[in-house]
């Protein structure tokens, strides 16, 4: 939209290109960005430069009296003073004002009309504009005409570094949020995922204030009843892959909210890991990476532009972003009824968590607050192989409030709507990482299918002697011998030792949170 002004935001560039469609952004990217290309399936191929994953250690939140008591301060939300934020914001604006054109994307976060927020992204790269245009909810022409002023503005000046001498800076990268002014500033990183997760962090702050649970999860719905299922998990645990289910309606692959009427997706697109992607392994995602989609940091053949998804010479964190409607069974608008099942996905690098277990309400709260998984190679800067970690609420890097706030809301929702809760291991079996093998996707799909069909609700369970949860002993499509992880290890003593080691890590980690939970929840954890 030529002639659109951003003067109210301190951007004095005459050529503001607002909400360009995919074709125009393709043209802009090809003409103005080095190394940008188009794949043989029609996706835009772009590169994020030195940063090919998020930089969580460089995230900052402005410490303000109006929100200070609400924020979970610490390594996730590192405080930044107002003056330093204003310096970084001015630095971003100064950079954007040196350009002959900037891109503006106005869109919504949240499919619920009563709870969605208006977001404006101002950026320098067409690739970034197409990415966020894809990942947020695209307004109709009528909605765009009446959009007005946004509630949050993101200044993406990622090509320009932060000043290391600015108080509170520890590198040339800084991702800063100010809840009071409704602004976010990105400096020193061109990884597009910072915008996506910045919006999620904003929703993680706003929604609990309204009694709404924001969740790092994928979601699907039954095709007949519209009752839903949610799958929690960090990047790499299978949220996107398992939500691309041809037998269910897709609500979304990563970020949702649970209200008093049901669930809604925060986003208008999906962001899938592309490593080793094939049409046989993940047909829904493979076919979605066509015109209007973005492929990040992939390697392709110079002659025919065919992408080699097995080539990780740029990064293991190759990604594809595509509009959610590119999934054939996506439910538009992306809303559904209350979940019948809540599934916690964990990528267990120790190889001792069963493929599927049923959790009591107290165990559900314990494991939700614990958020055990493994960081998968490439998802964050510096991670080159799976690393055991605990991430509260299966989304610690994106929380704004203390984890207990989200746990209380989840407990309330699960109890009110009688949801079953499951722990599903998509990680290792037959040994720890380096010895065992990653759980077959076909087995995990069979487990999730059985959960959705209600076939595990009355399945026989055996209490795990260390962790206490109910290990499911029979599941259609899954060999019985792998349902008990101890059976898959050749060295049973090594298994027992490893299980006790992981239990100890759970116990030590939970000490941080046990002051805010009941005795029943504390007792629901493992024993050494």
- For the annotated catalytic residues, the residue numbers are 54, 197, 216, 235, 239-240, 254, 319
Q: What gap in Å lies between CA 298 and CA 482, rounded to an integer?
A: 35
The set of residues, in sequence order, having a beta carbon less than 8 Å from that of 317 and lying 6+ positions away, is 52, 53, 273, 275, 297, 377, 378, 379
Helix (H) or strand (E) holding 412: helix 403-417
Q: What gap in Å lies between CA 110 and CA 210, rounded to an integer?
A: 14
Distances, alpha carbon 378 to alpha carbons 19, 238, 338, 501, in Å: 31, 15, 34, 26
In the numeric block, which tokens belong to residue 102?
Answer: 């900037």
In the numeric block, which tokens belong to residue 490?
Answer: 């050749």
Phi then psi for residue 253, to 5 deg, are -110, -5
In the numeric block, which tokens belong to residue 406?
Answer: 């989200």
Give Cα 250 to chain centroid, integer Å. 16
The set of residues, in sequence order, having a beta carbon less than 8 Å from that of 307 and lying 6+ positions away, is 39, 40, 41, 45, 295, 298, 299, 300
Is the separation of the CB atoms in 168 and 194 below 8 Å? Answer: no
In the numeric block, which tokens belong to residue 176?
Answer: 């800063």
Nearest to 111 by CA among 211, 256, 2: 256
For residue 333, say if its preceding peptide bond is cis, omega within 30 degrees of 0: yes
Q: What gap in Å lies between CA 255 and CA 308, rounded to an integer?
A: 28
Phi then psi for residue 483, to 5 deg, are -70, -25
The total of other beta-carbon atoms located within 10 Å of residue 21's CB is: 11
Q: What gap in Å lies between CA 307 and CA 45, rounded to an integer?
A: 9
The set of residues, in sequence order, having a beta carbon less than 8 Å from that of 417 and lying 6+ positions away, is 338, 339
In the numeric block, which tokens belong to residue 504?
Answer: 């100890």
Helix/strand/coil for 504: helix
């Amino acid at each position: 939209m030529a002639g659109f002004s951003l003067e109210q935001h301190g951007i004095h560039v005459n050529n503001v290109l607002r909400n360009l469609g995919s074709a125009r952004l393709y043209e802009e990217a090809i003409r103005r960005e080095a190394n940008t290309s188009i794949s043989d399936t029609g996706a835009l191929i772009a590169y994020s430069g030195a940063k090919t994953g998020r930089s969580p250690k460089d995230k900052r939140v402005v410490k303000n009296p109006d929100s200070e008591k609400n924020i979970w301060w610490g390594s996730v939300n590192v405080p930044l003073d107002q003056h330093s934020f204003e310096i970084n914001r001015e630095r971003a604006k100064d950079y954007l004002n040196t350009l002959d054109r900037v891109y503006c994307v106005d869109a919504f976060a949240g499919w619920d009309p009563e709870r969605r927020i208006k977001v404006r992204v101002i950026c320098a790269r067409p690739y970034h504009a197409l990415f966020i245009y894809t990942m947020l909810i695209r307004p109709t022409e009528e909605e765009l005409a009446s959009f007005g002023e946004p509630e949050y503005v993101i200044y993406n000046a990622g090509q320009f570094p932060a000043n290391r001498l600015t108080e509170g800076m520890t590198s040339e990268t800084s991702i800063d949020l100010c809840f009071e002014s409704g602004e976010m500033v990105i400096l020193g990183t061109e990884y597009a995922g910072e915008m996506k997760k910045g919006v999620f962090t904003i929703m993680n702050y706003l929604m609990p204030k309204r009694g709404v649970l924001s969740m790092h999860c994928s979601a699907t719905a039954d095709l007949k009843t519209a009752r839903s299922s949610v799958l929690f998990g960090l990047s790499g645990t299978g949220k996107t892959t398992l939500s691309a289910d041809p037998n269910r309606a897709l609500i979304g692959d990563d970020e949702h909210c649970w209200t008093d009427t049901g669930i809604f997706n925060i986003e208008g697109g999906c962001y899938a890991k592309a490593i080793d992607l094939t049409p046989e392994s993940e047909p829904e995602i493979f076919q979605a990476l066509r015109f209007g989609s973005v492929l990040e940091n992939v390697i392709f053949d110079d002659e025919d532009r065919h992408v080699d998804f097995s080539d990780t010479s740029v990064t293991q964190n190759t990604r594809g972003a595509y509009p959610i409607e590119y999934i054939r069974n996506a439910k538009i608008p992306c809303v559904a009824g209350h979940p019948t099942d809540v599934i916690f996905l964990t990528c267990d690098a120790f190889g001792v968590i069963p493929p599927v277990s049923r959790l009591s309400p107290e165990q559900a709260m314990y494991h939700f607050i614990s958020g055990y998984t493994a960081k998968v190679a490439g998802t964050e800067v510096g991670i080159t192989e799976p690393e055991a970690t605990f991430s509260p609420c299966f989304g610690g890097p994106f929380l704004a409030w203390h984890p207990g706030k989200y746990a209380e809301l989840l407990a309330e929702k699960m109890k009110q709507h009688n949801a079953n809760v499951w722990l599903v291991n998509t990680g290792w079996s037959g040994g720890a990482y380096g010895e065992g093998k990653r759980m077959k996707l076909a087995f995990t799909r069979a487990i999730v299918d059985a959960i959705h069909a209600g076939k595990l609700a009355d399945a026989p369970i055996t209490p795990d002697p260390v962790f206490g949860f109910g290990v499911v002993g029979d599941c259609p499509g899954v060999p019985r011998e792998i349902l008990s992880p101890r059976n898959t290890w050749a060295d049973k003593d090594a298994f027992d030792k490893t299980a006790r080691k992981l239990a100890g890590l759970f116990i030590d980690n939970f000490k941080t949170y046990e002051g805010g939970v009941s005795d029943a929840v504390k007792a629901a954890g493992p024993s050494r």
